[in-house]
Amino acid sequence: TIVRDTMVTDAENAERNVQTEQGYQRTEDRMKKVVEFLTSSESVARNIMSAAGFSQDNFQHCANVSTLALGMANLLGITKTSDLVEIGLAALLHDIGYSKFDFNARVPLDQMSVEQLNKYKEHPIEGARMLADKPYVTKGVLELIADHEEIGEGLGFPNKKRLSTMRRSSQILNLANDYDRYAHLKQKSHKEIAKQFFQDKIGAFDLNHIKFLVSLFKN
């Protein structure tokens, strides 16, 4: 879809664009247009989410996470444009900490060495740290990035936070991130993993959120 292609392009450019206020503003303006389109009707949001393809690389992953999170957030009642734009921007940038790695982060965690795994578990905080000196990146975006691997009752990382105590934007972004990564690791489409994801991840996310996401791909 046009939206997914736009998201992939923005994900490819996001790390470079965030280095300057002008570049970041361009990304933010494009995200506002995507949000405007996504929120135009419920059917648009549902169709765009279901059209998110298999992520071959991390740019496509970030694009998918952005699309899934924005669609879910809007359909679950987050309607304020600024809140949705923050979710979209955080999704595009959530794995910026990967740029510090000298290894492939898109493999199962049990295939990483102890040293690699320790580094991997720091990537959310590292990503937020890389952007913390940029006054034009909002506190909300930084928080979403720093917390994007927190799941369940302290099952995630790096701070083992309880997802249920976190704001809804984080809960939705984290679910979208985990869903797309799960599809990548299983080498299956979002539709193909729906039932198995629900069975494997029950308790890791808000029950209503996970039921809602899975229902979009089971039909």
The pLDDT tens digits of the residues spanning 166-219 come to 999 999 999 999 999 999 999 999 999 999 999 999 999 999 999 999 999 976
Domains of the chain: 2-218 (1.10.3210.10)
In the prediction, which pLDDT does 4 show? 80
Q: Is the pLDDT of residue 96 over 90?
A: yes
Gap between the Cα atoms of 35 and 180, Å rounded? 20
Identify the sign of the CA torsion 162, 49, 17, 136: negative
Gap between the Cα atoms of 48 and 164, Å rounded? 27
Number of helical H runs and strand E runs in the chain: 11, 0
In the prediction, which pLDDT does 218 show? 78
In the prediction, which pLDDT does 50 show? 85
- What 3-state class would DSSP assign to 202? strand
User: What is the maximum span of the chain, computed from C-alpha positions, in angstroms?
Assistant: 46
Tell me phi and psi for residue 18, to 5 degrees.
-70, -10
Q: What is the share, in percent, of the chain residues with pLDDT greater than 90?
A: 89
Q: Tally the residues of the chain.
A: 219
Helical packing angle, 81-93 and 168-186, nearest 10°? 40
Provide the whole-model pTM: 0.96
CA angle 170, 219, 87 (to 5 degrees): 20
Q: Is the pLDDT of residue 88 over 90?
A: yes
In the prediction, which pLDDT does 3 show? 80
In the prediction, which pLDDT does 47 show? 87
Tell me the residue type at 184: H
In the prediction, which pLDDT does 219 show? 61
Eight-class DSSP state of 161: -
Average pLDDT, the chain: 95
Q: Is the pLDDT of residue 17 over 70?
A: yes
At 104-158, the pLDDT tens digits run 999 999 999 999 999 999 999 999 999 999 999 999 999 999 999 999 999 999 9
Gap between the Cα atoms of 204 and 1, Å rounded? 30
Nearest CA to 73 out of 102, 120, 127, 35 is that of 35
- Residue 100, token pair as written in the block: 């510090």
